[in-house]
Chain A
């Protein structure tokens, strides 16, 4: 077997590690992989062009940016913060745990488009989490603030990934079904999707615990760092 195409994977890893522009890394890896597999240059460029063109729907979602930007111009983020500031007993830990559960449950009934980074995390979840953290711990050190924002995005991802497969009519379940069927193992989507539930529960417990741990850690930080 020709193992040379794997060099493309190595290029991706090295390129990302050395912090080259990821687009350059990806295209460089694609060209190298194709050429090492014995394809000619034109065929690789064609494959790249066709796949880029076929996947345009991925980048369509940016058309939401004017809506979010316009609302931010009129104080959407500030409003999201104010809601949390006025909520008694709101902590970052509780807020993100509730969002995690909300994201898992809505994804589990097929509503995976209800959250997401441009439309929910940036304008709403992240400012709310930051406001809640400041409410309990006072003004955050920049490092802690970055962690809270990153944890908000992480919570959206974890909630989505480990909720969506409980819904039986989702692409990944259909893919599993298709692969097993082609090997002579007919499975129903429901048989597969119930087995997403144990992992979903583990995800809620583990990530929920980590959210609380971050909240506690920030609470301890001023005493330790003295700042």
Chain B
């Protein structure tokens, strides 16, 4: 059975190569940072929690001291790229599409045919594993077709990776922060505070506090999944569903979406907001968030209205 462990070894190989290329380039900070990440992929499952924690602290120390730098491996010029794009034409899109198509079509094929019974992939892990398969296929196809220098994919990947820099592990790090917050009981404290400030007897204001709590707590945690159980337990279920007799399906579904509005407005949702700013080489790290605030706020208001109308006015 193919498990995530296989993917981790594959990712470990990629990051180890990037580490070695950084070393050859004399970029010690980059080499040690990506080397440690490679080690995490190779050995993380066999290390103790404390050893993994020390590894995390070491990576943060490297990034925190500014030792992680952009790199500039040799590549083609803009003019060469323009010429290539004319010669190669729309076929250039094909390898780029191989990855999502393998992941999506593969998942559908696997789940809706007898293939699933073979147990080839670890349960519920098939999409990401097929994503890895798609990457390998796309690489082979692109290499066979374009015939670049052997190290070109590694070097081009390193250029992109180093332009993302420390932000590449920020999403994973924020997930770790969420785990520590959970251990420290931050959710219960926030739920308690939110529960305390509810005005008595007003359904509408209770809806507002519930939706606001979802959005704000999501902004803090960077993830609506962490906020939802807390706000549902503090306000959604005891007050909106039980005291005021609202429709639980609307309160649950749209409450979560009110949280998603918070995701659009927080740097804590790094993979959606900070990573693309790095990938697009924006000058402002919060540039993507700035474009999203104007959508998130009116949409949050819509969610409040949908909960109030759908769960109360139409339901009772």
Contact = CB atoms under 8 A, between A and B. Distances in A.
A19 B267 CA distance: 11
Given A9-B186, A146-B284, A175-B228, A73 B156 contact: yes
A52 B279 contact: no
Contacts of B148: 70, 73-74
Given A22-B166, A45-B57, A82-B85, A121 B270 contact: no
A70 B90 CA distance: 15
Given A161-B260, A180-B248, A44 B294 contact: no
B125 to A, nearest CB: 8
Interface stretch (B22-30, B113-121, B131-139, B197-205): B131-139
A56 interface: yes
Interface string A118-152: 11111110100000000000000000001101111
Interface residues of A, number: 115
7 closest cross-chain pairs (CB), A and B: A69-B156, A49-B53, A75-B85, A49-B52, A51-B179, A37-B184, A66-B157
Interface in A182-213: 183, 185, 187, 191-193, 195-196, 198-199, 202-203, 206-207, 210
Contacts of A206: 295, 298-299, 302
28 contacts: A8-B186, A22-B167, A23-B166, A27-B177, A46-B49, A48-B176, A49-B50, A50-B53, A53-B47, A55-B172, A56-B40, A59-B169, A63-B14, A64-B99, A69-B160, A70-B157, A74-B85, A75-B84, A82-B86, A113-B100, A113-B127, A115-B100, A153-B280, A153-B288, A165-B257, A176-B255, A193-B253, A195-B254
Given A172-B224, A206-B302, A8 B181 contact: yes
A65 B268 CA distance: 23
What's the interface size class on B, roughly? 35 or more
A133 to B, nearest CB: 14
A226 to B, nearest CB: 22
Interface string A60-103: 11111111111111111111001100000000000000000000
Given A49-B54, A67-B139, A24 B280 contact: no
